[in-house]
Amino acid sequence: MSDARTMWDDRYAAPQFAYGTEPNDFLREARMYLPASGSILCLGEGEGRNAVWLAKEGFDVSAIDLSPIGLAKARMLASAAKVPLHTIPADLSDCDLGQNRWDAIVSIWCHLPSHIRQSVHRRVVAALAPGGSFILEAYTPGQIHRNSGGPKSPDMCMSAAALARELDGLRIFASRELTRDVQEGIFHQGPSEVVQLIAVKPA
Ligand SMILES: C[S@@+](CC[C@H](N)C(=O)[O-])C[C@H]1O[C@@H](n2cnc3c(N)ncnc32)[C@H](O)[C@@H]1O
């Protein structure tokens, strides 16, 4: 088993939801840029708070994650909310995301080593259906000096400039770096340096 999977399985083995059960604030704000209905893939979705919220909004949602323990909790959350949810236990470093398939792809705090992230983002561009949207929030390298959450390696953080390069083929609709107060479970708490992005695959 990979070190990363062991780390995430250990975190999700605790009874509480590590990032809470409410959706990410930026995803909520970006709701209007999602299609009225359709299929959404959530990357690195862990315990499923964003995926379950999207399913409650009426989308057909699939959540992919390295951690089967996190995804088991995602299924519990979906079951409690009485919504369907597809879970895909897989490593994003080499899994097939499909071609022209998803009406939207959502990436919330999905921090990977940069060479894997670049490959994932190339696959995101190919996997979005024409007209589909990509919504992302992540920590920037400036977060390294804070203790409010996120990876401790700058290589795993993202900047607006790097995302623009990596998402060649999408039209960047909105992209900004900002400091915001994040209150999500016990691991994301306090003022944070983040990048937020909404991009669309040309129809
Ligand atoms: C900070 S958590 C965010 C979880 C969720 N998106 C949320 O906002 O609550 C990062 C997630 O990425 C997943 N992850 C890390 N490396 C991965 C990989 N190589 N393949 C798939 N998932 C991965 C972890 O298991 C973890 O659930």
- Mean pLDDT on 167-178: 98
The rounded distance, in Å, linking the Cα atoms of 4 and 188 is: 19
User: Does 1 have pLDDT greater than 90?
Assistant: no
Q: Give the SS3 label for residue 24.
A: coil
Segment among 2-11, 46-55, 66-75, 154-163 with least mean pLDDT: 2-11
The answer, as to whether pTM is greater than 0.95, is yes
The backbone torsions φ and ψ at residue 47, rounded to the nearest 5 degrees and listed phi first, read -85, 5
Q: Is domain 3-200 classified as CATH 3.40.50.150?
A: yes
Task: List residues near ligand 1 (CB under 6 A).
Answer: 4, 8, 19, 24, 44-46, 49-50, 65-67, 70, 91-93, 108-110, 112
Residues 77 and 48: beta-carbon distance below 8 Å: yes
Q: Give the tokens for residue 120.
A: 């994932």
User: Does 99 have pLDDT greater than 90?
Assistant: yes
- Mean pLDDT on 116-120: 98
- Mean pLDDT on 160-183: 98
What is the pLDDT of the chain when averaged over all its residues? Answer: 97
Confidence of residue 2 (pLDDT cuts 50, 70, 90): confident
Q: How far is the CA of 202 from the centre of ligand 1 (A)?
A: 27
Can you give the residue ranges of every domain in the chain? 3-200
What does the chain come to in residues?
A: 203
Looking at the chain, the whole-number percentage of residues with pLDDT higher than 70 is 100
At CB < 8 A and 24+ separation, what contacts does 3-9 make?
4/66, 5/66, 5/67, 5/91, 8/46, 8/65, 8/66, 8/67, 8/69, 8/70, 9/67, 9/68, 9/69, 9/70
- Mean pLDDT on 32-39: 95
